[in-house]
Amino acid sequence: MENNSVGLVKTQYVTFKDEFFFESGRVLNPITVAYETYGSLNEDKSNAILVCHALTGDHHAAGYNHPDDQKPGWWDNMIGPGKPLDTDKYFIISPNFLGSCFGTTGPASIDPATKEPYGLKFPVFTVKDMVKLQKRLIKYLGIEKLKTVIGGSMGGMQALEWAITFPEMVESVIPIATAGRITPMAVAFNTVARMSIMKDPNWNNGNYYGKTPPVDGLAIARMAGHITFLSDASFHKKFGRKYATLEGIYDFFGYFEVENYLRYNGYKFARNFDANSFLYIIKAMDIFDISYGYGSFEEAVGKIRCKTLFITFTSDFLFPNYQTEEIVDILSTLEREVTWENIESDYGHDAFLLEFDAQSDLIRNFLRNL
Amino acid sequence: MENNSVGLVKTQYVTFKDEFFFESGRVLNPITVAYETYGSLNEDKSNAILVCHALTGDHHAAGYNHPDDQKPGWWDNMIGPGKPLDTDKYFIISPNFLGSCFGTTGPASIDPATKEPYGLKFPVFTVKDMVKLQKRLIKYLGIEKLKTVIGGSMGGMQALEWAITFPEMVESVIPIATAGRITPMAVAFNTVARMSIMKDPNWNNGNYYGKTPPVDGLAIARMAGHITFLSDASFHKKFGRKYATLEGIYDFFGYFEVENYLRYNGYKFARNFDANSFLYIIKAMDIFDISYGYGSFEEAVGKIRCKTLFITFTSDFLFPNYQTEEIVDILSTLEREVTWENIESDYGHDAFLLEFDAQSDLIRNFLRNL
């Protein structure tokens, strides 16, 4: 364990017994939230930062859950003593979002009424629902205002949603590699993912708990998604046209290194993620649109009153830069305090997890000047 | 039927009894080729043009097979009296390529030895194999030299291969929206397609003839492919974020217009195409690399001696422009007669079938100046 690690961390759980109202009108209770915290809350409770994870991420963002863990949490290079999200200064809260499958209530959780997993009886949820549940957690921790809300991709959607829906509760937000609504092309990728899972006979209309889960369908869904995390340039750099075996170019079942990688990672993912949860989450991604409930996209963006730091990456084709530019333009016109950095990178959408140095100073300085 | 149509056309078939040697070393006979011709071969047999279709295309490029056909062949706006491929001047030959499923021998064809479809016993074939079979057809028609070979996408690969492998037989080639080898990102899309089909239980290791074919898997494969035919801009223009139904944004099974379109076209395709044939063809696409068998990519390109007209489209992300630029640069350095037009278009890869006006004059003038 390095010196600047948050060290051993225990995942915490809180169960809210009160009814939770979904944007759809559906109601559910109780709801449990899994979360981790790093650093200490100061006396006036003014140093809290909320970290929001992406599509298939979890609450374990930093440190180690067990002394023998090989890898730290997914954003360990960002969170720790002296790191950009400095645990000597800030109290970092990292929850697993609503509907995920790592401890927070979701489609794979047990419905107390039936003692069986919810499956497709789980309500369709939105990014706004995730944020409303996070608000419960924040209040439960005794916090009235967050120093910042930060996240990449779907994590960035949550950051945006916080600034729009609960403007009085955020001093700033840092949406990274994200958008106010995804492109129709991104919906198309989710279509392929959705169909792969739903057409896997083991999906069985969501009733696979206790039986064989739709591993093939979920693995293929992940492979399609994986394409969107990279870029044409990173595909070239990572794989080129290298064949996975020395021979076999004319072998019907032979394949390239890139296929080998996609298959391996697709199945690795599929063995550790709940297929229904995945379907619900990509649904939330598809229908996320900050303009819902407002007269226009501009009006929704206008609700953002706090300081904002937007970060994008030049080769990200899943969340193209023009989507952030549109928001930044609106905020600039409204004379809000907005900063936008479009980082030159070949890594595609994945850059938000890989371009550490470039983001590091931006975030550090932004927080210092709050 | 319009005035400048080639009118009623009958598909022709020729069966070659001689052994056909595949690039892999495998041997097969007999092999049948389905093809159509438009216009008349002149006396010195110097006016023949070969049209090569794309991935899932066929030999029916122009005119009507039946008087009650609602639509003409796929390149009818390009082929006919007075059209760029002018049937008053040229003799157009349009074959279904090796391994396809529209009349030319492929995996769904009956193996005379067993009286059953080849299925996975069919040899893996390459673009070079397709071209070698086309050469047999050309010779059979009594032609020694083609005025040009033209095609888009995988059709363009065939045009390129002709110029490299049989330089003495082509006066010119017109490769459109293509490359000398596909990108690893394109292979990744084919990976998703391949896995979707192979993991459909109905695929049954290729043994589905006479049973239920893997329609779901093939439909999903097509949906993944369809993403690559469009562009971010054309997705926006074609679909925006329009929902397919008036209500149902919180309906688990609700979906956007873009998903509706992909599903509809995916299944429409899957009901009319053989899944094994599709797998073999995307394999041929993956392993196509003009440098195979040569010391380098440059050396392979250097084999091209004829006049060339390359056409690309700015928003094509499946066959990025830099791939054609690379070939054009090599040819220019070698002082070959090369023309390249990069047409400004939002249509993505599909532009080769849609940007008719822009291509029309280019092709007409190129042929006039031969």
CA nearest neighbour of A171 among A141, A149, A199, A204: A149
A209 interface with B at CB cutoff 8 Å: no
**What are residue B86's phi and psi, to 5 degrees?**
-75, 115
| Rounded average pLDDT over B250-273 | 96
Q: Hey, is B234 helix, strand or coil?
A: helix
Q: Biggest alpha carbon distance in chain B?
A: 68
Is the pLDDT reported for residue A260 higher than 80? yes
Testing the interface with B: which of A220, A232, A279 to mutate, by most B Cβ within 10 A?
A220
SS3 track for B324-343: HHHHHHHHHHCCCCEEEEEE
What type of residue sits at position B263?
R
Name the one residue in this structure whose structure tokens are 């004059």. Answer: B361
Encode pLDDT of A176-215 as tens digits: 999 999 999 999 999 999 999 999 999 999 999 999 999 9
The verdict on a CB contact (< 8 Å) between A227 and B192 is: yes
Which of A118, A187, A289, A315 best probes binding to B when mutated, by most B CB atoms within 10 angstroms? A187
For residue range A286-331, list pLDDT tens digits in order. 999 999 999 999 999 999 999 999 999 999 999 999 999 999 999 9
State the catalytic residue, choosing from B153, B277, B315, B345.
Answer: B153
Q: Does domain B12-182+288-368 have CATH number 2.60.40.1840?
A: no
**Residue type at A24?**
S
Residue B235 near chain A (CB below 8 Å): yes
Closest chain A C-alpha to B222 CA, distance in angstroms: 9
pLDDT at site B23:
96
Name residue A94's beta-bridge partners: A36
Is B153 among the catalytic positions? Answer: yes
Is B111 annotated for ligand binding?
A: no
Using one digit for the tens of pLDDT, what is the confidence trace for B301-327?
999 999 999 999 999 999 999 999 999
Q: Which residue of A has its CA nearest to B261?
A: A188
Cα distance between residue A34 and residue A9, in whole Å: 13
Q: Based on the residue annotation, tell me whether B129 is a catalytic residue of this protein.
A: no
Contact B152, B353 (CB under 8 A): yes
pLDDT at residue A2, rounded to an integer: 64
Check pLDDT > 90 for residue A245. no
Residue B28 β-bridge partners: B20
Nearest C-alpha in A relative to B320: A232
Binned at pLDDT 50, 70 and 90, residue A351 comes out as very high
- Judged by CB atoms closer than 8 Å, whether chains meet at A192 and B250 is answered as no
Out of A100, A153, A277, A345, the active site residue is A153
**Contact between B23 and A250 using a beta-carbon 8 Å cutoff:** yes
Sorted by sequence, the CB contacts under 8 Å of residue B123 that are 6+ apart come out as A250, B22, B24, B26, B28
Can you give the pLDDT at residue B344? 98
pLDDT > 60? residue B95:
yes
Q: What per-residue confidence (pLDDT) applies to B246?
A: 65
Superfamily of domain A12-181+288-368: Alpha/Beta hydrolase fold, catalytic domain (3.40.50.1820)
pLDDT over 70 percentage in chain B: 99
Mean pLDDT across the stretch B36-64?
98
Q: Are strands B31-38 and A172-176 parallel, antiparallel or unpaired?
A: unpaired
How is chain A split into domains, by residue range? Answer: 12-181+288-368, 186-283
Task: Encode pLDDT of B168-210 as tens digits.
Answer: 999 999 999 999 999 999 999 999 999 999 999 999 999 999 9
CA distance B19 to B134: 15
Q: Is-catalytic flag, A349?
A: yes
Q: How far is CA A40 from the centre of its chain?
A: 24
In Å, how far is B155's CA from the nearest CA of chain A? 21
Distance CA B300, CA B293 (A): 8
pLDDT band at A246 (very low <50, low <70, confident <90, very high): low
Among candidates A185, A232, A252 on the partner chain, residue whose Cβ is nearest the Cβ of B124: A252
How far, in Å, CA of A263 to CA of A251, rounded? 18
Could you give the CA distance from residue A265 to residue A93 in angstroms, rounded to a whole number? Answer: 28
What is the CA B370 to chain-centroid distance, rounded? 24
At residue A1 the predicted structure's pLDDT band, cuts being 50, 70 and 90, is: low
pLDDT band at B1 (very low <50, low <70, confident <90, very high): low
Q: What residues contact B43, with CB distance under 8 A and at least 6 apart?
A: none
Residue A183 contacts B, CB cutoff 8 Å: yes
Instruction: Name chain B contacts of A235, Cβ cutoff 8 Å.
Output: 183-185, 188
Residue A278: both structure tokens together: 């995945």
Say what the pLDDT of residue B248 is. Answer: 83
What b/e string do you get for B234-266 counting C-beta neighbours within 10 Å, with b at 16 or more? Answer: bbbebbebebeeeeebbebebbbbbbbbbbebb
Q: How many other CB atoms sit within 10 Å of the CB of residue A202?
A: 16
**What chain A residue is nearest to B228 in terms of C-alpha separation?**
A185
Per-residue confidence (pLDDT) for residue A317, from 0 to 100: 97
Class of domain A186-283: mainly alpha
What is chain A's Cα-based Rg? 20
| Backbone φ, ψ for residue A111 (5° rounding) | -75, 115
State mean pLDDT over B324-335. Answer: 98
B336 is in an annotated binding site: no
Q: How confident is the model at residue B245 (pLDDT cuts 50, 70, 90)?
A: confident
Whether the CB of A284 is below 8 Å from some CB of chain B: the reply is no
With a CB cutoff of 8 Å and minimum separation 6, the contacts of B7 are B1, B63, B64
Residue among B184, B216, B317 whose CB faces A236 most closely:
B184
Say yes or no to pLDDT of B2 above 70: no
Average pLDDT over residues B352-370: 96
Phi, psi of B347 (to 5 degrees): -75, -5
User: What proportion of chain A, given as a percentage, has pLDDT over 70?
Assistant: 99
Side-chain half-sphere exposure of B355, counting CA atoms within 13 A: 28
- The single-letter DSSP state of residue B243 is B
pLDDT tens, position by position, A115-151: 999 999 999 999 999 999 999 999 999 999 999 999 9
Residue B247 has pLDDT above 90, yes or no: no
